[in-house]
Amino acid sequence: MQAVAIVVLTFLALGSWANICTTPDGHWSFEVASGVIDFATGGVPLNKRYFCFDGCLNTHTALQNYKVKLINSSKDAVAKKVERTIDVSDFIKNNKRVSKIQDDDPQAIFCQDPRILNIVKSTIESSPIDNCTNIVHTVVLKLARAGWGVVCTKLGGQTGGFEVNSAFEDYAFCDYTDVRPSTGSVYNVKVAQIDRS
């Protein structure tokens, strides 16, 4: 089932690719998600040259692509980029409440800045309103860094859902998925310094 869903999402992504930004230079992170029941963006305004997001609640899909200004790599260096798949049902089953210490959290590998990790994790877990708009606004406010973009997708509902994305191990990038303890909602939040060159 998961393989069929990945194939379907790949075709959706390829069909939408003409509408989503990408250039041959820079370090790009992408995500294709199904089962999306809420989404929001914030920080750097969306722009076809470097920070793109396209989501539809009717089809429960989202596609995002953005150019990341990495701290640990020069423009010409090959950055450590990992492509991964998260199945929401499996994530919920396997999600263990871990301590706030970064080394104990398997999601922390893609959110290396401890301050950003703490902001994202605490916002998902304790935001007063259970939606992406509130989470994005809170992360942007607490982060208080010009030139950074924030994307939130809430996954699940009757469609289950999964995401295929690319993530960097860098201090200027955070890709974090967590289950909100009070509601069981699954959120994926990405925070990145956007390369506007």
How much is the pLDDT for 172? 93
Give me the torsion for CA of 166, 155, 7, 2, rounded to 10°: 110
pLDDT over 60 at 7, yes or no: no
For the stretch 158-187, pLDDT in tens is 667 888 988 888 899 999 998 888 888 899
* pLDDT for residue 19 is more than 60: no
* Residue predicted with more confidence, 13 or 27: 27
Backbone angles phi, psi at 102, to 5 degrees: -55, -40
pLDDT average, residue stretch 133-143:
97
Domain residue spans in the chain? 2-193
pLDDT for the residue numbered 4: 42
pLDDT the model gives residue 138: 96
pLDDT single digits (tens) 69-117: 988 765 545 567 788 888 888 877 776 544 444 456 777 889 989 999 9
pLDDT at 146 over 80: yes
pTM for this structure? 0.83
C-alpha to C-alpha distances, 11 to 15, 41, 43, 52, 108, nearest whole angstrom: 6, 24, 30, 18, 30
Task: Count the Cβ atoms, other than its own, within 10 Å of residue 24.
Answer: 5
What pLDDT does 9 receive?
43
